[in-house]
Amino acid sequence: MITEIVNYKDFGKCLRLDNGKIEAYLTLDVGPRIIKFNASGCENLMFNDSTRCVDVSSVFGEGEKWHTYGGHRTWISPEEMPKTYYPDNQPVKYDIENFNGTVTVLLTPPCQKVTNMQIVIRVTIAEDGDTMKVTHYLKNNGKEAVKRGIWGITVTDINGIAVLKQPERHTALLPDRQVVFWPYTRMNDERILLGEKYIAVQQDPSDTQVPAKIGYTNFEGKLYCFNKGQAMSISYDSDYTKGEYPDFGVSSEIYTNKAILEIESLGHIGNILPGSTVHHIEEWFVTPCDVKPGLNEDEIDAAMTKVFG
């Protein structure tokens, strides 16, 4: 297992983890973000950009800007502009533990000003494992309860395709799924496939492309992505018996524009009492893959069957 501090692009210091199957870079000067993730020896699947930013000075103070950065981040749902766009531009405290070949990294940025919310990310990779566990924590350091949830956003690079499985549930005369759309999403967008077995979104870097976003109940609790000769999946607990989900009750979302493809998992939303902490766990898998499906259900089915069984 390789564990080392490296300088990566213009993101500053990052912690590199590589067990020979999985490689991940965790930002330490900003964020935190999982700014690089891929099968060992392969290209980075994550989108990277330190220049894109949003002015959030109206809430967080003069000169404060939220930077996209890219990669994976912990966010707070429901989305609210600019309050959830916290400018996480300060150094991140990190702790590393190696126990019997399993490396665990705890990433702790400063507590958020104004919102008084504390985000922590724990990343775990076993020496011989083919998955990476990402645990997100959200603590309310304020004096009042807040209705919030954890939102795991993974910003991947151009030309990828994100895939969700349609449910295999038997509900007789009752509905069995929900797909939601955002106001800017065109129902006839050619990048979106609503198929018999799969829902898919294809990223298109053309300048003419407008943003699109869909949400999905996703009872399976898995998101899939194909790009750069690799296949990736993110698994999480999608249990509708345990609580409420935001955005009309969806537990996963996919967003795309001409620069990025986001695959997003959502935790339950509820009242977080002062001093209380909630968490949301994702398990990431990545492997080299010699097939990349287009926005075609037969191609997607063949690729999914080959890689994920």
Over residues 225-262, the pLDDT tens digits come to 999 999 999 999 999 999 999 999 999 999 999 999 99
**pLDDT of amino acid 170:** 85
**pLDDT of amino acid 208:** 86
CA separation, residue 268 to residues 58, 137, 244, 246 (Å): 29, 13, 5, 7
**pLDDT of amino acid 244:** 96
Mean pLDDT over 165-192 rounds to 93
**pLDDT of amino acid 306:** 96
**pLDDT of amino acid 288:** 97
Share above pLDDT 70 across residues of the chain, in percent, rounded to a whole number: 100
Give residue for tokens 């958020």.
112
Collapse the DSSP code of 1 into the 3-class scheme (helix H, G, I; strand E, B; otherwise coil) and give the result. coil
Tally of structural domains, the chain = 1
Mean pLDDT over 178-198 rounds to 96
Using the predicted structure, report yes or no on whether residue 207 has a pLDDT greater than 90.
no
Domain holding 38: CATH number? Answer: 2.70.98.10
pLDDT tens for 88-138 read: 999 999 999 999 989 999 999 999 999 999 999 999 999 989 999 999 999
**pLDDT of amino acid 62:** 95
What sign for the dihedral angle of Cα 204, 38, 118, 223? positive
Whole-number mean pLDDT of the chain? 96
- What CA–CA distance (Å, rounded) separates 150 from 219? 18
Long-range contacts of 86-90 (CB under 8 A, 24+ apart): 86/56, 86/60, 86/112, 86/115, 87/56, 87/60, 88/30, 88/31, 88/32, 88/119, 89/30, 89/65, 90/30
Please give the radius of gyration of the chain, using alpha carbons only, rounded to the nearest integer: 19
Do residues 268 and 242 lie in contact, with contact meaning Cβ atoms separated by under 8 Å? yes
**pLDDT of amino acid 169:** 82
DSSP β-bridge partners for residue 26: 15, 34
Do residues 276 and 270 lie in contact, with contact meaning Cβ atoms separated by under 8 Å? no
Least confident interval from 108-112, 188-192, 206-210 = 206-210
Helices (H) and strands (E) counted in the chain, each on its own, are: 3, 22
- Side chain identity, residue 64: E
- What CA–CA distance (Å, rounded) separates 268 from 242? 8
pLDDT tens for 12-66 read: 999 999 999 999 999 999 999 999 999 999 999 999 999 999 999 999 999 999 9
Do residues 102 and 84 lie in contact, with contact meaning Cβ atoms separated by under 8 Å? no
* Biggest distance spanned by C-alpha atoms of the chain: 57
Mean pLDDT over 216-221 rounds to 96
Domain that includes residue 137, residue range: 2-308
Using the predicted structure, report yes or no on whether residue 68 has a pLDDT greater than 90.
yes
